[in-house]
Amino acid sequence: MTMIDPQDRSSGTEAPPRYPHRHLLGIEGLTRSDIDNLLDRSDGYVEQNRRADKKNASLRGRTLINLFFENSTRTRTSFELAGKRLGGDVINMSVGTSSIKKGESLIDTAMTLNAMHPDALVVRHGESGAVQLLAQKVNCAVVNGGDGSHEHPTQALLDALTIRRRLGRLEGLEVAICGDVTHSRVARSNIHLLSIMGARVRVVAPPTLLPSGIERMGVEVHHDMRTGLKGCDIVMMLRLQTERMRGSFVPSVREYFRYFGLDEIKLRLAKPDALIMHPGPMNRGVEIDSVVADDIDRSLIREQVEMGVAVRMAVLEALVENQTEPWAKNDPYAAGAA
């Protein structure tokens, strides 16, 4: 792993190329080199985060707002740390304290925050497409922190970084994504990212938890863990998202665990050194057995959380360095602007 000094971007040939997009709304639409760019940057931050002094100044003077319409602990904390370690000012807004409860619309909120001149907004929302809608109304960079069942791009990036650092590559790997694909934004972002990077993806779930037409996203579909896990390098477990379910998708948790929960026996079908991932929070005994989840040789779950901060630092840096003077253009308050 080459070490990149994130403090030194002006000179030196190892400086990564500019990230060519204004926002990070999803993995769909990114190219292989966009993803490599973000992962390469992240590698540098992993090292920085392991030092005693974890701070640099690439977001100095910049404001980051975490706007969370859905509950979140790890993603919000991860973004907050990322912003602070880059030297930025970070504000957290969650739905409980915002005026959304007073009936203000998403767009009004966006306009209000926009008028406060943030440099980056991280948005999580319970509805698919909400972050994209909000991004149309603001001048700053927007990072999708998860929207409905659509995308969660930083999760897919941190998963990719975790795999790449452990196995040295993504291309050619066999990855099984298991569980509640229907409601999962993590699954969709990972399917896009892994396919772009040349990995082969299978989804394993009962038919009720697989959305219609999923095979058109380039994945192999399995309804049985025995065939689905066979010979795979990575097993990605998804959380059973009961809070998004309307009505019954599986008869019971106990039956679900019997057929789709990852335990040692089912794991034997994968490659002998197959690795286990989970985006968290885990439901032990629902989709994953404790023994497997806590197996330090095979479980990457804690490493995923660590990589999360690095990836989010890389994303924020890449987006913010694109806007040297963000308020110079597209300023609705500037004279002459529409």
Is residue 213 a contact residue for other proteins (CB under 8 A)?
yes
Footprint on residues 177-196 left by other proteins (CB under 8 A): 185, 188
Q: Exposed (0-12), middle (13-18) or buried (19+): which is 338, by Cβ within 10 Å?
A: exposed
Give CA–CA dist 314/164, Å, rounded.
Answer: 16
Amino acid letter for position 48: Q
Min CB(264)–other proteins separation in Å = 32
Q: Could you say whether residue 216 binds other proteins (CB under 8 A)?
A: yes
Pattern 24-63, other proteins, x by CB under 8 A = ----x-----------------------------------
Residues 148 and 302: beta-carbon distance below 8 Å? no
Asked whether position 211 contacts other proteins by CB under 8 A, the answer is yes
Residue whose CB is less far from other proteins, 82 or 143:
143
Q: Cβ closer to other proteins: 28 or 89?
A: 28
Among 10, 13, 97, 105, binds other proteins (CB under 8 A): 105
**DSSP E strand boundaries for the chain:** 63-68, 89-94, 120-125, 141-147, 174-178, 200-204, 220-222, 234-237, 275-277
Site for other proteins in 143-172 (CB under 8 A): 147-151
Among the listed ranges 56-64, 209-217, 293-301, 311-319, the one in contact with other proteins (CB under 8 A) is 209-217
DSSP helix/strand/coil, 93: strand
Does position 236 interact with other proteins (CB under 8 A)? The reply is no
From residue 313 to residue 332, the character string flagging contacts with other proteins as x (rule: CB under 8 A) and all else as - is: --------------------
**How many of the other CB atoms lie within 10 Å of CB of 325?**
6
Q: Decide if residue 107 touches other proteins (CB under 8 A).
A: yes
In our burial notation (b when 16+ CB lie closer than 10 A, e otherwise), range 246-262 reads: eeebbeeeeebbeebbb
Task: Specify the stretch interacting with other proteins by CB under 8 A; choose among 39-47, 81-89, 102-110, 276-284.
Answer: 102-110
Count residues near other proteins (CB under 8 A).
25
SS3 content of the chain, % helix, strand, coil (to 5): 40, 15, 45
State the residue for tokens 């004279």: 335
In degrees, rounded to 5, the angle at the alpha carbon of residue 86 between the alpha carbons of residues 82 and 87 is 120
Shortest gap between Cβ of 105 and other proteins (angstroms)? 6
- Segment near other proteins (CB under 8 A), from 35-43, 130-138, 234-242, 248-256? 130-138
Min dist. Cβ of residue 262 to other proteins (A):
24
> And the tokens for 183?
């409601």
The residue (of 159 and 306) whose beta carbon lies closer to other proteins is 159
Strand-pairing partners, residue 147, are 125, 151
For residues 85 and 80, what is the distance between their CA atoms, to the nearest angstrom?
9
100 binds other proteins, rule: CB under 8 A: no
246 is an interface residue for other proteins by CB under 8 A: yes
295 binds other proteins (CB under 8 A): no
Instruction: Walk across the sheet containing 220-222 and list its strands.
Output: 220-222, 200-204, 174-178, 234-237, 275-277
Pick the stretch among 49-57, 157-165, 211-219, 320-328 that binds other proteins (CB under 8 A). 211-219
For residue 106, state whether it binds other proteins (rule: CB under 8 A). Answer: yes
Site residues, other proteins (CB under 8 A): 28, 105-107, 125, 127-130, 132-133, 147-151, 185, 188, 211-214, 216-217, 246
